[in-house]
Copies of this chain bind each other. A is one copy, B any other.
Amino acid sequence: MIRELVPEDREAIEEALTECGAFSEEEIRVALELFDAGAPGGYTLFGAEIEGRVLGYVCLAQASLTQSSWYLYWICVHPAAQGKGVGRALQAKSEEFVRSQGCRRLVLETSGRPDYCKARRFYENAGYERVGLIPDFYRPGDDCAIYSKVIE
């Protein structure tokens, strides 16, 4: 079940971020800052609840100064729920939501590192197109790959 997140979901989100193993301590801190900022801060958060546990979530926000573009800031699935289409469901919910707001473009940034290959393939398979690459953006040897998808 995909539903909007509430402040009480914070612990589950922190666990998913930690357990999924993809994020550094600093990344988890920033992800939780966005969670805490929530709707008043302009962020939309959806969680995937499975048997009463939130095991994944997505965080998005409209891109400032744009008419119809949104940023997908964070998507994370707990290892206990990976490989079950939870990421896909969160992705689909995000697109449906953006469309419901009269908007039609999702943009996201991810690492160009070899260990992010799976993440990039996930987006590519979901119809995202690479529209930019900033060399060494995160740190030397760690590029920023920018992806974008038009939601029809």
Contact = CB atoms under 8 A, between A and B. Distances in A.
Give the dominant DSSP class at A's interface: strand
A36 interface: no
A146 interface: yes
A64 to B, nearest CB: 6
Given A132-B131, A146-B146, A137 B64 contact: no
A125 interface: no
A113 to B, nearest CB: 13
A91 interface: no
Interface residues of A, number: 25
A66 B139 contact: yes
A99 interface: no
A139 B68 CA distance: 7
Interface of A: 26-27, 30, 63-69, 105, 107, 131-140, 146, 148, 150
